[in-house]
Amino acid sequence: MKSPYKGKTGLTRVWNALLYSLDGLSAAFKHEDAFRQEVLLALVLIPLALYTPAAGLGKALMVASVLLVLVVELLNSSIEAVTDRISLEDHVLAKRAKDMGSAAVLLSLLIAAGIWLAALRQLFFA
């Protein structure tokens, strides 16, 4: 069965993609506590990164690491939503999928923390 959402081209496709993306961000903010917490953290950390005396690349890495956490959280939330849509009963594969999504979020947080620690160390202890 062909999707009714496919086949659009040009600016219509781009516009629709933008609207779907905004819907996704809105749904994540509305329904996902972890995403809201990470957005609040981003609202603090991104301006902080931009105001540090770090070089451009350092600032870019600090901002990108925070955005990476948000991206991975969105993917994790989508895995959880699809898994719950299929079935709410306990199943080893559902648990595995959700645990792997959670592990991805943890790794993205560790990456962000490592980048921030390295950047701040270089700024203040070099």
Q: Which residue is catalytic, options 32, 38, 73, 89?
A: 73
Please report the pLDDT score of residue 8 as a whole number: 74
Per residue in 58-82, pLDDT (tens digit) is 999 999 999 999 999 999 999 999 9
Structural domains of the chain, with CATH: 1-31 (no CATH), 32-125 (1.10.287.3610)
Burial class (CB within 10 angstroms; exposed 0-12, middle 13-18, buried 19+) of 28: buried
For the question of residue 73 being annotated catalytic, the response is yes
The mean predicted confidence, pLDDT, of the chain is: 93
End-to-end CA distance of the chain: 60
Distance CA 28, CA 33 (A): 8
Q: How many CB atoms lie within 10 A of CB 25?
A: 14
Given a cut of 90, whether residue 6 has pLDDT beyond it is no
Q: What is the pTM of this model?
A: 0.89
